[in-house]
Chains A and B, each alone.
Chain A
Amino acid sequence: MDLVAVLVNSVLAGLLAGGLGILLTAPLRYIAPAFVCGFAGCLSRDLLVSCGASQNWSTAVAAAFLVFVAVAIIREPTVPPVVLFSGVLPLGAASSMFNAIMDLMRVSTLKGEALNEAAVTLIASAGRVFTVSLAIVLGLGVGLAFVRFLGRRKVWEGV
């Protein structure tokens, strides 16, 4: 396990989450929580992957963990979804989404072997978008259900 690489990646994810928080005009007091959530989510996923867990299950567990982190660090009756989503977006499959759309545009003009290759890439990218998104939704859902069950904190109804 390359712990330094995992940490560097997690810090990058935290910075990305903080930057997205600013771009989404989240109030200033939520930028640090967004950074921590992005960091914690990426760290937990990468650690699980390093320990041999699959990418999708690791993403699901990381998304659930991120909910607990957000609830722990935000001392307000409601946890704003903008923090959760800024934190969870670095776990997402944004590049696969772009690749899938670009492959979709390419397959209409290709022929022969190139068409076969592009079609396989398209299916792989679309499959990755689907499974990673599903893992994130599943993880967030489980995390939110636990939080509601244990502490009855509201999450979705804030900004």
Chain B
Amino acid sequence: MTAMHPVERALDVALIVMRNGGSTVLADRVFGNILKGFKRDKVPTVWRLDFVAATSIVEGRPSTIYRPVGVIGINLVRASGAARLSERVARGEIDTAALDSEIERVKTLGVPYNRRVMLAAGACTAAVFSQFPGKDWGALGISFVAAGAGQFLRLLLQARKMPVAGRTFVCGVLSACIAAVGLRLNLSQAAPWTMIASVVYMVPGLPLINGFIDALSHRFLFVGLERIANAVYIFLILAVATAFASTVIM
């Protein structure tokens, strides 16, 4: 076993966290836990949203390993699984020889909700959001249908690995256009809330959460700010999609 092996395994597990919606704080803790399981001290690491670099001493010479982060998706069960695995490794409950198979097991953990549940959650979240200004059955119906259709398309495009920005815009335009048609037909008078509710299922909650967690930790301030900037960018895309639908249809 080379000296780089523990660092590589630790990066593998930490990257599962990064790629599945975990914060950089959590990824760094996972990295440290795995090294602890190998009885190794923490090594200097650079965390970014596009790559992670860790330096180790191999045969008396410093050696740096880079790993691309790649596309960041959302699967908190997998991120949580990686965090638990690292804690078990740190406590010595998992033999380091069995770690590779455990990493593969965590990588295969799926999203806990199937397509239908995600579709229903998107539609219902939008319908609930539309009711905050007051009971309005028209707004509820419009938001439910608009968000449901948008979420359906979003899941399809997600399966085809379409980039986030394009996917958000296309689904945002579809949802906002359906909402605008409903408002044009006078099904509801609460125009701004209904339009916003129709795209609320795409609000970038996780990048915002992780951005604040990273930024508040101070150690990952720039990664956190990058995540927050990404979230603002998604908000901007949604606003442009909504404005486009309002201008064209209403």
Contacts and interface: CB of A to CB of B under 8 A. Distances in A.
B118 A23 contact: yes
B209 A81 contact: yes
A12 B133 CA distance: 11
Chain A binding surface, main DSSP class: helix
Chain B binding surface, main DSSP class: helix
B74 A25 contact: yes
Nearest to A136: B212
Contacts of A95: 192-193, 196
B136 to A, nearest CB: 12
Chain B interface size, as a band, is 35 or more
Given A15-B124, A81-B213, A95-B193, A27 B205 contact: no
A102 B193 CA distance: 13
A99 B239 CA distance: 8
Interface stretch (A56-64, A65-73, A112-120, A151-159): A151-159
A86 B209 CA distance: 9
B125 A98 contact: no
Interface of A: 9, 12, 15-16, 19-20, 22-28, 80-82, 85-86, 89, 94-95, 97-99, 101-102, 105, 137, 156-159
Interface of B: 21-23, 25-26, 29, 74-77, 79-80, 83, 111-113, 117-118, 121-122, 124-125, 128-129, 131-132, 192-193, 195-196, 200-201, 203, 205-206, 208-209, 212-213, 216-217, 235-236, 238-240, 242-243
